């Protein structure tokens, strides 16, 4: 099985067959990760640069673990402590590191389109680990994997994506992926956090009443309020956001049905999600994190395999 693309820059231009290939390969790697010996020699001669210009806990550790499980050599770059802090450009930084014989680049950057720019200028395969407010393709893949694992299918699944849609790269990648795979999507939250380009043209329905979205869905993917990307206030206060749009156990119990709760992390506890839900019986948040390793192993393995 080979991917039709050299890079994983986003879900928007990924073919449905590529998504199916990644998800089925991830299932094989998940099986490997249940064994006492979790390491395979698949990428033994491959060197991967983890290039993180923006903070990360889950994605950075998950990629590094995936690389180690595949026996790849890894290099970790963070801005702090690097010559980027002295003004070195992205392209100079990457070309200098590539000259040391690096094969693939996993990249997170606060600028939307940064990995697409890099892909035009360097020969190495690039995996987008989140670019600004554009896309976070491996998060969408692990979200889809986790939904499929829970429900056995994506076709016809009713997914509510709730919260700060405007600043979320996860929202866009989830929308692209889930609509390609036949899921139904409602996007919910305050009008000020749902951008005007989120319309039926993207295959989604917009709902401003969170309770109505929850009553409709099988699974709610709750997104973080990204205060660090807001130049001006887009709602009155975090307390009022929690009262109007936050998800708590009382709200879920009032639905008269069970729904699955997801969140890409990090969680603002007591804002978009209360702890009794985040840590409750219907949450699969830590399953998402676990599945991220297998999904990233699949992406790296398939891209490296395509190169050979």
Q: Is the peptide bond before 266 cis (omega within 30 degrees of 0)?
A: yes
Q: Which x/- pattern over 273-302 shows residues binding ligand CP (rule: CB under 6 A)?
A: ------------------------------
Q: Does 266 bind ligand CP (CB under 6 A)?
A: yes
CA distance 166 to 275: 24
Q: Does 229 bind ligand CP (CB under 6 A)?
A: no
Q: Does 265 bind ligand CP (CB under 6 A)?
A: yes
Residue keyed to tokens 């692209």: 176
CA distance 247 to 210: 9
Q: Does 65 bind ligand CP (CB under 6 A)?
A: no
Interacting stretch for ligand CP, rule CB under 6 A, among 7-15, 29-37, 92-100, 264-272? Answer: 264-272
Output the residue with the shortest Cβ distance to ligand CP.
59
Taking every pair of Cα atoms in the chain, the longest distance, rounded to a whole number of angstroms, is 59
Q: What b/e string do you get for 162-183 counting C-beta neighbours within 10 Å, with b at 16 or more? A: bbbbbbbbbbbbbbbbbbbbeb
Q: Does 269 bind ligand CP (CB under 6 A)?
A: no
Q: Does 130 bind ligand CP (CB under 6 A)?
A: yes
- Please say which residue, 148 or 263, places its beta carbon nearer to ligand CP: 263
Contact 223, 263 (CB under 8 A): yes
Polymer length in residues for the chain: 308
Q: Does 58 bind ligand CP (CB under 6 A)?
A: yes
Among 4, 24, 57, 95, binds ligand CP (CB under 6 A): 57
Q: Does 110 bind ligand CP (CB under 6 A)?
A: no
Interacting stretch for ligand CP, rule CB under 6 A, among 99-107, 112-120, 259-267, 296-304? Answer: 259-267
Q: Does 139 bind ligand CP (CB under 6 A)?
A: yes
Q: Does 264 bind ligand CP (CB under 6 A)?
A: yes
Report the nearest approach of ligand CP to the CB of residue 263 (Å).
Answer: 9
Contact 96, 82 (CB under 8 A): no
Tell me which residue of 115, 42, 110, 109 sits closest to 72, measured CA to CA. 42
Contact 303, 8 (CB under 8 A): yes
Which residues form the interface with ligand CP (CB under 6 A)?
A: 56-59, 130, 139, 264-266
């Amino acid at each position: 099985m080979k991917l039709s693309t050299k890079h994983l820059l986003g879900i928007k231009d990924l073919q449905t067959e590529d998504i199916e290939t990644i998800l089925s390969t991830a299932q094989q790697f998940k099986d490997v990760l249940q064994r006492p010996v979790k390491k395979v020699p698949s990428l033994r001669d491959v060197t991967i640069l983890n290039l993180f210009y923006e903070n990360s806990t889950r994605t950075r550790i998950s990629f590094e673990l995936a690389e180690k499980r595949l026996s790849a050599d890894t290099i970790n770059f963070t801005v702090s402590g690097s010559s980027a802090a002295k003004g070195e450009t992205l392209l100079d930084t990457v070309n200098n590191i590539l000259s040391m014989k690096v094969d693939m680049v996993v990249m997170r950057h606060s600028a939307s389109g940064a990995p697409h720019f890099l892909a035009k200028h360097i020969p190495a395969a690039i995996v987008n680990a989140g670019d600004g407010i554009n896309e976070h393709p491996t998060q969408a893949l692990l979200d889809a994997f986790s939904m499929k694992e829970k429900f056995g299918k994506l076709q016809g699944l009713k997914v509510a994506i709730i919260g700060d849609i405007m600043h979320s790269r996860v929202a866009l990648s989830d929308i692209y992926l889930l609509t390609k795979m036949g899921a139904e999507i409602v996007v919910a939250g305050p009008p000020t956090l749902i951008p005007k380009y989120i319309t039926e043209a993207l295959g989604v329905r917009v709902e401003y009443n969170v309770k109505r979205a929850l009553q409709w869905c099988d699974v709610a993917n709750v997104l973080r309020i990204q205060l660090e990307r807001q130049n001006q206030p887009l709602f009155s206060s975090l307390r009022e956001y929690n009262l109007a749009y936050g998800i708590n156990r009382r709200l879920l119990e009032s639905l008269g049905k069970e729904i699955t709760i997801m969140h890409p992390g990090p969680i603002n506890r007591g804002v978009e999600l209360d702890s009794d839900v985040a840590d409750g019986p219907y949450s699969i948040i830590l399953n998402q994190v676990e599945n991220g390793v297998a999904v990233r192993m699949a992406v790296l393995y398939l891209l490296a395999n395509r190169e050979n």
